Chains A and B, each alone.
Chain A
Amino acid sequence: AQTVTQSQPEMSVQEAETVTLSCTYDTSENNYYLFWYKQPPSRQMILVIRQEAYKQQNATENRFSVNFQKAAKSFSLKISDSQLGDTAMYFCAFAPYNQGGKLIFGQGTELSVKP
């Protein structure tokens, strides 16, 4: 069975600092996608960043970047220059290739950015 594990239920960071959220997954698939979604207090899920497993280069979106370690099945999210608006629940998710939107989600990490 494919699983996604986020071992940090809660984290906090000071504004303008950098924080890293951890995610590990288990799969026997070779081709797949990994995602980080953000769920702010408004509750609407927003895609933060996406990584394709066949790409060795780590994905980057402005202040957000990932450290993708395929052999270790690790997919961490780094947020640089944290802002108050980054306060949210963050979910790591996995999707096997060719299975559309059937994502498997981790338990989530609640991030608080403090002024």
Chain B
Amino acid sequence: DGGITQSPKYLFRKEGQNVTLSCEQNLNHDAMYWYRQDPGQGLRLIYYSQIVNDFQKGDIAEGYSVSREKKESFPLTVTSAQKNPTAFYLCASSSDRDRAYTGELFFGEGSRLTVL
């Protein structure tokens, strides 16, 4: 079945370490997104990419980095510069060609990162 796969589901990290969250989609979607979810704050956009080899910062990009070398993949690295990395991270995708400008997102199951 088509969908978005995030891994790992749970991740523990020591302070000062970088960690990379994986996001893979087989929906043939053009655009991919990373959102961060904290209790009581909804979802906030970290980074997004509308095409391979191109990406833009969202509202809370500081302390994060991404790459988009393949259409199917959009990994997120949480660096040691991110001051409060403990959160739930959601990857999403959308097809801006077939569903142009509808804004509808398809989400993965999320990755929970805990910094010890």
Contact = CB atoms under 8 A, between A and B. Distances in A.
Interface of A: 4, 6, 9, 33, 35, 42-47, 50, 91, 93, 95, 97-103, 105-108
A97 B108 CA distance: 24
Given A91-B42, A107-B40, A102 B58 contact: yes
Shortest 5 CB-CB distances between A and B: which pairs?
A95-B103, A105-B42, A45-B107, A101-B94, A105-B43
B41 interface: yes
A25 B103 CA distance: 16
Given A91-B43, A100-B50, A100-B94, A44 B103 contact: no
Nearest to A9: B40
Given A95-B103, A99-B103, A101-B33, A44 B41 contact: no
A103 B103 contact: yes
Interface of B: 31, 33, 35, 40-45, 48, 50, 58, 88, 90, 92-94, 96, 101-105, 107-110
27 contacts: A4-B42, A33-B103, A35-B103, A35-B104, A43-B88, A44-B109, A45-B105, A45-B107, A47-B105, A50-B104, A93-B103, A98-B101, A99-B101, A100-B48, A100-B96, A101-B92, A101-B93, A101-B94, A101-B105, A102-B48, A103-B43, A103-B103, A105-B35, A105-B43, A106-B42, A107-B41, A107-B42
